[in-house]
Copies of this chain bind each other. A is one copy, B any other.
Amino acid sequence: MIATTTATSTFDKRLSNRAREIDSLLCIGLDPILNRLPDAIARTPAGVVEFSREIIAATSSMALAFKPNLAFFFALGREGLDTLYQVCADIPSNIPIVLDCKVNDMGATAEHYARAWFNELDVDAITIAPYMGEDACAPYFTNASKGVFMLTKTSNPGSGQFQDQTLESGHRLFEEVASQSAIWNDRYPASIGLVVGATWPDTFKQIRQHAPELWYLVPGIGEQGGSLKDSLVAGLTSSGDGILASASRSVLYASPGGDFAEASARAAAMLVDQIRSVRRALAT
């Protein structure tokens, strides 16, 4: 009898495979905001679960991943974490979940965060922050089937205050974070990626020099004004993927009426069309 092993695919391979299968790089952010919920939805945790279920059902065929953000669940009060568990349970298991938690912590504390998100909630990837250094980040990197996106160049207007500072190496802080993350991706089991805001497409080419193959989670498309096209042109890898283009509120709140799910599907489809046309143009 020959022993066989079913290897679990790494997170980055799962993204590449699904991107090819559904021809999409769209990540849909799940940011439930009570006072923006459609009129027919109760402004309660149960309403958030119902709303999210409708959005997920309407858009999942186009979603390379879903990205719930902790803040919006915790603002619901003491039921917020349980609500997040319910929303994650409604996401089909073949679609990766990137939990936007931007954790920062070290040692035993980091191990408990990793257990909380990768084992208890069982998401496929998380976002983390680099400020504390490699030894603090390492506990998030131990699982080969999981992904970790490192905050690198964030989408907010003032992100340059610390991130754009030039270090003794001659690199700016965000470039140093990118190049270290590429090293860590080789050093540790997890798939490491970068968070790079769509509002700074000029930095994508520089960051690609430091991290040519990593996946970038790119928030800031839509309400924040980042250009999807510019981000893709500057950031796609040589194989035409490596960008998880994230839109949240522009998809979720496309209509306050009874057609909210169809409207969000239309908003998502428009973004997917833009992604496809840029990829086609670059491939030719």
The CA of A173 and the CA of B136, in the complex, are separated in Å by 17
* Interchain CB contact (< 8 A) of A136 among B72, B156, B165: B156
The complex places the Cα of A69 from the Cα of B112 at a distance, in Å, of 10
Closest CB-CB distance, A175 to chain B, in whole Å? 12
Chain-B contact segment, one of A46-54, A124-132, A226-234? A124-132
| Interface size in chain A (residues, C-beta < 8 A) | 60
From A4-12, A98-106, A255-263, the one touching the partner chain is: A98-106
In Å, the complex CA distance between A217 and B207 comes to 35
Query: Is the C-beta of A90 less than 8 angstroms from some C-beta in chain B?
Result: no
Q: Is A159 interfacial (CB-CB < 8 Å)?
A: yes
A107 part of interface (Cβ distance < 8 Å): yes
Interface residue A1 (Cβ < 8 Å from any Cβ of B): no
The CA of A116 and the CA of B109, in the complex, are separated in Å by 21
Do A72 and B112 touch (CB < 8 A)?
yes
Q: Does any Cβ of B come within 8 Å of A155's Cβ? A: yes
**Contact of A166 with B163 at beta-carbon distance under 8 Å, contacts A75-B115, A134-B158 already known:** no
Given B82, B135, B154, which contacts A156 in the complex, CB threshold below 8 Å?
B135
A202 within 8 A of partner (CB): no
Supposing A102-B103, A120-B74 touch, asked if A158 and B133 sit within 8 A by C-beta, the answer is yes
Question: Chain A 71-88, CB within 8 Å of chain B: the 1/0 string?
Answer: 110111111111001000
Contact in complex: A82, B79 (CB < 8 Å): yes
Distance, CA A165 to CA B72, complexed state (A): 34
- A78–B82 Cα gap in the complex (Å)? 5
Check if A113 is an interface residue, CB within 8 A of chain B: yes
Bound state CA distance, A166 and B166, in angstroms?
9
Q: List 22 A-B contacts (CB under 8 A).
A: A31-B109, A69-B105, A70-B113, A71-B109, A74-B112, A74-B113, A74-B120, A78-B120, A80-B81, A102-B104, A102-B105, A132-B154, A133-B154, A133-B156, A133-B158, A133-B159, A135-B156, A135-B158, A136-B159, A162-B173, A162-B176, A162-B177
